Amino acid sequence: MSDYPRFHLAFPVTDLEATRKFYCNLLGCKTGRESDQWIDFDFFGHQVVAHLVAPEDHPAVKTNKVDGHAVPSSHFGPILEWQDFHDLAESLQAAKVSFIIEPYIRFENQPGEQATMFFQDPSGNSIEVKSFRDMGMLFAK
């Protein structure tokens, strides 16, 4: 991963301590700088920052139809190696995480075959974790 630029993403949350527990305990993220209004997380090598907002200021979630699923139009997440994806999926299932979209395979036996799953953090931010069987097909058409 060190050969690639890192990205930075700031996103709203309504409870910093629930957010810390979710990102650290469930996803294995480490924390960086923080205040009583925000927390930096090492999100699979990228910097994501949870900013505290009032519940009424958290944006509503809209969805789009993809493969018959209501996919949250606003989401983010890592692209993991194939086995790492499946290990994380098992860990989340064991922790009884409620999935928006259960882990499944898209484009099976086709270019761009990928595993994907969607779930939400405690503030309702949607996270998609995916993996490509062949990482070289990440941008295949």
* Residues in the chain, pLDDT under 70: 1-2
Instruction: Name, in order, each residue with C-beta under 8 angstroms of 114's C-beta and a sequence gap of 6 or more.
Output: 105, 106, 107, 130, 131, 132, 133
Whole-prediction pTM:
0.91
Amino acid 2: pLDDT = 62
In this structure, how many other beta carbons lie within 10 angstroms of the beta carbon of residue 97?
Answer: 14
User: Taking Cα atoms as reference points, which of 26, 25, 23 lies closest to residue 38?
Assistant: 23
Give SS3 for 2. Answer: coil
Rounded to 5 degrees, what angle do the CA atoms 87, 91, 94 make? Answer: 140
- 98 domain-assigned: yes
CATH code: domain of residue 87: 3.10.180.10
Amino acid 105: pLDDT = 97
Amino acid 34: pLDDT = 97
- 110 domain-assigned: yes
Amino acid 117: pLDDT = 98
* Count of the separate structural domains present in the chain: 1
- 2 domain-assigned: no
Amino acid 89: pLDDT = 98
- 1 domain-assigned: no
Domain span at residue 55?
8-137
